[in-house]
Structure 1
Amino acid sequence: MNKVLLLTACIGVFNLSGSCSSSRKVKPEQINSLIQEKLGPNFTQETNSKGNFSLYIQNLTETDDKIALKFIVVDVAKNTIIYENSFLPGHVKWHSDTALEVLSLPGIIEADEDLSHYKKIISIALPKQ
């Protein structure tokens, strides 16, 4: 029983850690419905400065009880999801044209800590062709 609980906990931590990427190509008319399927109807879209990648971030609503919010990166030209993950309350934004800054805050921040302890820069690796 303890092994099952430990395995379940490890899977949950891995899911929040930032290693969940995929490469799923869809038809242009299907990308919006796929994003809504993964994030729900309430999300924000931000394109990087070159316009080749779009970041879709699930929005928290007043009635939501979610702790972690999901985000997806889409290769605009190929209509392919190249990265997806989740974060705790904080933010996800473009750090550069090929990297994201993810601030994932725990429930309690110690007085001697600053936010840089909770920031990660994630390079958006393109799928191999």
Structure 2
Amino acid sequence: MPDGAALAGRYGDTAKRRTTTRWLLIGLGVFIAVVMIAWAIWGSGLGGASSTLQYTATASEAVDGSHMKVSFAVDAPANTAVSCAVEAQNVGFTVVGYDVVHLKPTPKTHQVVTKSLITYEPAVSGSLDKCWLS
């Protein structure tokens, strides 16, 4: 009857192969960890200009059956162009009006904007979808 070492050599389960497999798995684990950490840092906006961009909707008012006013505040770095998506919604939360507002670069870091949206059916609420540096 063959011993364990002879069977291992015949079928490929050698100490060298186990060591190689172990190092490949360790390398793969380190690679996945580095990618996840980089993704978390990039996703949080650390170190980028977008981490200083803050925005919030302040008010909305239905003017009539086809117009909605949405007011919002934007805090962005000075002399930086910003774009914001504004939307109006009906009773069923369907978007019935949408527009992108482009704010020109200004030395001010805080801006308050009111945008009048045209809607294709009566809207009951208006909101700020998102803002980004442009």
Same fold by TM-score greater than 0.5: no
Going by fraction, where is strand more abundant, 1 or 2?
Answer: 2
Which one has a bigger Cα radius of gyration? Answer: 2
TM-score (norm 2): 0.30
Q: How does the TM-score come out when normalised to structure 1? A: 0.31
Higher relative contact order (CA 8 A, sep 6+): 2
